[in-house]
Structure 1
């Protein structure tokens, strides 16, 4: 099924907090895998799905040449939930799809599977794998803003606990496997070893 971004009233948000101590202060989003930055991998998926793309970062000067809106965190709390809140706050659509900047193999089909949940009454649409919920590959409604602000003000930084009373739709692992048999969309580059593995995966034919 071909999905047009016009079908979903949703903004694509990428969280790129800043420099990584595990990569000697380098920006993970701009690390290259076979000559292509991780951010470019994600952007190529987003641009086919969303008419509005927002990057949340604390190092905005590094992205001035990119064709998306750049915003910085509203709250100073160091947490991915801060970035989710910021993306929701600035989004022009009532929903946002959120991904971290270190997921080079996120597949368009997985994003579409999550976006399909928008047609119900859920305010949080989140995949679930054997590892648990995947809040960095999920849709959030602007209705979540107040809950998230309250949690940030009280430094309660677990997103699943923060949104436990919000109408939620879980995307089952069974459905995810139909779209991405190896669940490579949920692969994160957190270490130099992960980066080497990502290079090997691209060499082996993963796209």
Structure 2
């Protein structure tokens, strides 16, 4: 069943540990990483947007494509762009390098969206997962303000908004090994 929020895939990273290769197009078992995430998203969201620094590299997917508004390479600028172009009060965000993202985990995060919450974010023993989370449109201004101040850490604006954390126990019910949060950082991964 599709949700009433939008989905955004952040595919504009530097891929610096990939010798300038675009991680989104890296193949795992003959399928691009971005295809795995897109397949999860198309079952959940009516509107999907890929935020990228190179829109021409993403035209093969049947969705909206947005280029970063701020000329800065950072996940926070991708979140800003995704929120700017989203037509819903809350938007789910995923990095493009999570090939094992499970639909059930995304549903678990989305089910916990409350209109008064601004950030709905998974938290495991290794920390929070800001690139597999929901952000409200109310985050747009604090995110933009932090980008202007060159504060690019995603959590840097959390003290200005309402944050709901989803604990590891809840997440493990849908993904016992938490592979949904395993991101591809190097070719060896």
Is TM (by shorter chain) over 0.5?
yes
- Structure 2 residue 137 is the aligned partner of structure 1 residue 142: yes
For 1:60, the equivalent position in structure 2 comes to 55
Cα distance in 1, alignment partners of residues 109 and 14 from structure 2: 29
Q: What runs of 5+ residues in structure 2 fail to find an aligned partner?
A: none
Taking the aligned partners of 1:9 and 1:88, their CA distance within structure 2 comes to 15
Please, which of 160, 164, 167 is the counterpart of residue 159 of structure 2? 164
TM-score by length of 1: 0.88
Shift of 1:62: 1.2
Structure 1 runs (4+) greater than 6 angstroms displaced: none
**Contact 1:16/1:55 (8 A) holds in 2:** yes
Provide the rounded CA distance (Å) in 1 between the counterparts of 2:152 and 2:33.
26
Distance in structure 2 (CA, Å) of the matches to 1:170 and 1:18: 25
Task: Kindly report the root-mean-square deviation, in angstroms, between the aligned alpha carbons of the 2 structures.
Answer: 1.2
The residue correspondences of 1:56-205 to structure 2 (distance < 5 A) are 56-194=51-189
1:18 to partner: Cα distance: 4.9
Q: Which residue of 1 is the match for residue 28 of structure 2?
A: 33
1:21 aligned onto 2:24: no
Describe the superposition over 1:93-126 as per-residue Cα deviations: whole angstroms up to 9, x where unpaired: 1111000011000000110111012135211100
Secondary structure of 1:139's match?
Answer: strand
Q: Secondary structure at the match of 1:65?
A: coil
The farther-off stretch of 42-51 and 161-170 is 161-170
Larger radius of gyration: 1
**Residues 173 and 88 (structure 1), Cα distance of their counterparts in 2 relative to 1, 3 Å cut:** same
Q: Is the 8 A contact 1:15 1:56 kept in 2?
A: yes
Task: Label 1:18 to 1:125 Cα distance change in 2 as closer, same or farther (>3 A).
Answer: closer
CA–CA distance in 2 between the matches of 1:47 and 1:90?
18
Offset of residue 64 of structure 1 = 1.6
> Do 1:9 and 1:94's aligned partners in 2 also have CA atoms closer than 8 Å?
no
